[in-house]
Amino acid sequence: MLRGPGGLLGVSVRPAAALAVALLSSLSHCSLLEPGDPVASALSPYFGTKTRYEDANPWLLPNPEAPRRDPNLLEEACTPVQLVALIRHGTRYPTAKQIRKLRLLHGLLQAHRPGNDRAGGGGGGGDLGARLADWPLWYADWMDGQLVEKGRQDMRQLALRLASLFPALFSRENYGRLQLITSSKHRCVESSVAFLNGLWQHCYPELPPPDVADMECGPPRINDKLMRFFDHCEKFLTEVEKNDTALYHVEAFKTGPEMQNVLRKVAATLQVPVNNLNADLIQVAFFTCSFDLAIKGVKSPWCDVFDTDDGKVLEYLNDLKQYWKRGYGYAINSRSSCTLFQDIFQHLDKAVEQKKRSQPVSSPVILQFGHAETLLPLLSLMGYFKDKEPLTAYNYKEQMYRKFRSGHIVPYASNLIFVLYHCKNAETPKEEFRVQMLLNEKVLPLAHSQKPVSLYEDLKNHYKDILQNCHTGQECELPKVNNTSDEL
Ligand SMILES: *[C@@H]1O[C@H](CO)[C@@H](O)[C@H](O)[C@H]1NC(C)=O
Ligand SMILES: *[C@@H]1O[C@H](CO)[C@@H](O)[C@H](O)[C@H]1NC(C)=O
Ligand SMILES: *[C@@H]1O[C@H](CO)[C@@H](O)[C@H](O)[C@H]1NC(C)=O
């Protein structure tokens, strides 16, 4: 039933699709990074949520449009009948807040530039300080987290790979039935459009894509209640988002021994007083290395500020924040995503019903565009990447081999895909529905069985509590304050 390892190379790309892929690869290579000549940094594994998709999925480096068929993907006896995908936006610019901090740090380096006010030591470190002071600060406020060209490319290429992997679902006939939903954030809307253009090129390689408004499937629909559920959950907002003490461990780690060590090293390298630096400025320097790499495809001098030990500490700082704000840190983080979880299963239920009645599936492909903050709570709700011990300010060493590493889970363009299959053959005389999940195009073993595939009923049964008893309205309601006793 499962494809054996021998089937790995048997990518089922139809000749027409293969031609489309070949045509497109020759077209898209004019922009940005030349495939085959990837710029990398030794720090890349530690960029957390700012990780390039291809760094988390290195098989893409030689050819980002070649689909990789996970050997565990079902085939033959089972026909994929529906695909529900949650997709994080592609590579983006830094936010205005990050740019402001970078400007601050850059100004600090210019003020301490060797030869500027004091005699520079002239050592290698001084050179780096000078190089950074001269580095053109090319980030501007208007960029504020918007999708970059590389981010559009992330989406187009993902669309092409998925279309090649599931040709029957991403067919011309289904193009008009595509259902696209997106967060209202510019980078997500733009991502959904770029993805749609990629699919268009897959289906109609000979035609330039029309304006999305004129596409048969219509423009992507904005739905923040679904894709940005965290903004609509009172309990989350009060107890976590706006609560100064909720991220206690993040703050404690910033002033803890590991971070202080990084601060001292960086201050010495850049020849600035350690008191002028803090964890936030260090983090923005580290992110600038990641942004220059992901956006411009250049290895920036900011990367030379850090060694891999520093990278690991800064990765932990980023993961700590994700853990306490989006992951297992507080139950409400994941409970607030119940609606999204249920929405996915409502789509699957509907497809199963239609299939059982021998009707065509009305929405064979559902594509939902959101954020790392959309995906992490949902994966936590489903029980993925849970470590035995919580991530705290005090167990950095013990968490060295943690499961919760956001760079592996939610890089740019990360995607969680539910594939519903209809199976009927000699082995399974009864008609059956099965589900597989893919995270970043790799089959994600089911949490309840560790198997690559599950009967749909078994999966629903495993998550029955969330499906039946998790109601966002109740979950997100703040506990009623009984003030009657105080008033007396
Ligand atoms: C803020 O977070 C702390 C730590 O989890 C918690 O004890 C406190 O009740 C929270 N405050 C509010 C207003 O929810
Ligand atoms: C509020 O507190 C008072 C006194 O503790 C109690 O008698 C009353 O039932 C409470 N009301 C609610 C709605 O919980
Ligand atoms: C107590 O609760 C009542 C009803 O919810 C509300 O109208 C009132 O403003 C509250 N009083 C205080 C002091 O919070």
Residue of the CA atom closest to atom 10 of ligand 2: 482
Q: What type of residue sits at position 62?
A: P
**Ligand 1 nearest atom to the CA of residue 246, by list position:** 2
- Specify the residue with its C-alpha closest to ligand 2, atom 4: 485
484 lines ligand 2 (CB under 6 A): yes
Closest listed ligand to the CA of 483: 3
Q: What is the pLDDT of residue 130?
A: 87
Ligand 1 in reach of 238 Cβ (< 6 A): yes
Give residue 95 CA to ligand 1 midpoint distance, Å. 27
Q: How far is the CA of 483 from the centre of ligand 2 (A)?
A: 8
How far is Cα 411 from Cα 405, in angstroms, rounded to an integer? 10
Which residue's alpha carbon is at the smallest distance from atom 9 of ligand 1?
Answer: 239
pLDDT for res 24? 41
Ligand number with the minimum distance to the CA of 325: 1
Residue 187 and residue 92 in contact, taking contact as beta carbons nearer than 8 Å: yes
Which residue minimizes the CA distance to atom 13 of ligand 2?
482
Distance 480 CA to ligand 3 centre (A): 10
pLDDT, residue 394, reads 98
pTM over 0.95: no
| Token pair for 407 | 């760079």
pLDDT for residue 409:
98
SS (H, E, C) the chain: CECCHHHHHCCCCCHHHHHHHHHHHHHHCCCCCCCCCCCCCCCHHHCHHHCCHHHHCHHHCCCCCCCCCCCCCECCCEEEEEEEEEEECCCECCCHHHHHHHHHHHHHHHHCCCCCCCCCCCCHHHHHHHHHHHCCCCCCHHHCCCECHHHHHHHHHHHHHHHHHCCCCCCHHHHCCCEEEECCCHHHHHHHHHHHHHHHHHHCCCCCCCCHHHCCCCCCEECHHHHCHHHHCHHHHHHHHCCCCCCHHHHHHHCCHHHHHHHHHHHHHHCCCHHHCCHHHHHHHHHHHHHHHHHHCCCCHHHHHCCHHHHHHHHHHHHHHHHHHCCCCCHHHHHCCHHHHHHHHHHHHHHHHHHHCCCCCCCCEEEEEECHHHHHHHHHHCCCCCCCCCCCCCCCCCCCCCCCCHHHHCCCCCEEEEEEEEECCCCCCCCEEEEEEEECCEECCCCCCCCCCEEHHHHHHHCHHHHHHCCHHHHCCCCCCCCHHHHC
**Apex 318 CA angle, 317 and 322, nearest 5:** 120
pLDDT tens-place string over residues 450-469: 999 999 999 999 999 999 99
pLDDT of residue 113: 76
- 89, 202, 371, 422: which is the annotated catalytic residue? 89
Nearest Cα residue to atom 11 of ligand 1: 239
- Cα of 133 from ligand 3 centre, angstroms: 56
- Of the listed ligands, the closest to the CA of 249 is 1
Write out the two tokens for 374. 């959309």
- Which of 234, 245, 251, 481 to mutate to test ligand 1, by most ligand atoms within 8 A of the CB atom? 245
Residue closest by Cα to atom 3 of ligand 1:
246
Compute the distance from residue 475 Cα to the ligand 2 centre, in Å. 22
**CB of 358 closer than 6 A to ligand 2?**
no
Q: Give, for ligand 1, the residue of 234, 235, 238, 239 to mutate: max count of ligand atoms closer than 8 Å to Cβ.
A: 239
Instruction: Clarify whether 232 is annotated catalytic.
Output: no
Q: Which residues pair with 179 in a beta bridge?
A: 366
> Measured between alpha carbons, how far is 96 from 161 in angstroms, rounded to an integer?
33
Token pair 């529906």 is found at 82
Give the Å distance between the CA of 395 and the centre of ligand 1: 22
The pLDDT tens digits for 1-51 are: 333 333 333 333 334 444 444 444 433 333 444 444 567 789 999 999 999
Query: Alpha carbon of 238 to those of 233, 242, 327, 334, 474: distances in Å?
Result: 9, 5, 17, 15, 15
User: Residue 294, Cβ neighbours under 10 Å: how many?
Assistant: 28
For residue 246 and ligand 1, the question of a CB distance below 6 A is answered with yes
Q: With a 6 A CB cut-off, is 485 part of the ligand 2 pocket?
A: yes
Indicate if the alpha-carbon torsion angle 402, 406, 408, 409 is positive or negative.
positive
| Confidence at residue 119, expressed as pLDDT on a 0 to 100 scale | 41
- pLDDT confidence of residue 357: 93
**Per-residue confidence (pLDDT) for residue 386, from 0 to 100:** 98
Per-residue pLDDT at 436: 97
Output the CA 244–ligand 3 centroid distance in Å: 24
Neighbours of 443 (CB within 10 A): 20
**Residue nearest to ligand 1 atom 5, measured at CA:** 246
Which residues of the chain fall short of a pLDDT of 50? 1-36, 117-124
Ligand nearest to the CA of 478: 1
- Report CA(145)–ligand 1 centroid distance (Å): 29
